[in-house]
Structure 1
Amino acid sequence: MGKKKKSAATPAIRQLEDANIPFTLHEYVHEASDEGYGLEAAKKLGYDEAQVFKTLMADTGDERVIGVVPVNGHMSLKELAHAVGAKKAEMADPKVAMRESGYVVGGISPLGQKTHHKTVLDESALNFDEILVSGGKRGLSLGVNPHDLLAVLNATTAPIATQKKSY
Structure 2
Amino acid sequence: MAKGTRATAALDKAGIAHGLHGYDYSAEVDSKGLAAAQALGIDPARMFKTLMAWVDKQPLIAVIPSDRRLSLKKLAARCGGKHAQLMEVSEAEKRSGYKVGGISPFAQQRPASIVFADDVQQHGTVYINAGQRGLLLDLAPADALRFLQAQLADICED
Scaled to the shorter chain, the TM-score interval is: over 0.9
- 1:91 corresponds to: 86
What CA deviation, in whole Å up to 9, does each residue of 1:107-166 have, x standing for no partner? 000111001100000000100010000010111001011111011101010011125xxx
Partner Cα separation in structure 1 for residue 126 and residue 50 of structure 2? 13
Q: Tell me what 1:4 maps to.
A: none
d(CA) in 1 for partners of 2:28 and 2:88? 21
Q: 1:41 aligns with which of 36, 45, 48?
A: 36
Match of 2:73 among 62, 72, 78: 78
Give structure 2 stretches of 5+ with no counterpart.
none
Aligned residue runs from structure 1 range 42-61, under 5 A: 42-61=37-56
- Alpha carbons 1:83, 1:120 under 8 Å: kept: no
Q: What displacement does 1:8 show?
A: 5.3
Q: Normalised by the size of structure 1, how large is the TM-score?
A: 0.89
Larger displacement relative to structure 2 (23-32 or 127-136): 23-32
Paired AA for residue 117 in structure 2:
D
Rounded Cα–Cα distance in structure 2 between residues aligned with 1:25 and 1:63: 31
Write out per-residue CA displacement over residues 57-106 of structure 1, whole angstroms, 9 at most, x where no aligned residue: 11123311010011111101111112222122111111000000000010
Larger radius of gyration: 1
> Are 1:106 and 2:94 matched, yes or no?
no
Q: Please, which of 107, 124, 147 is the counterpart of residue 119 of structure 2?
A: 124
- Give the TM-score of the pair, scaled to structure 2: 0.94
Compute the RMSD of aligned alpha carbons: 1.4
Which stretch shows the higher mean deviation, 125-134 or 12-21?
12-21
2:130 aligned residue:
135
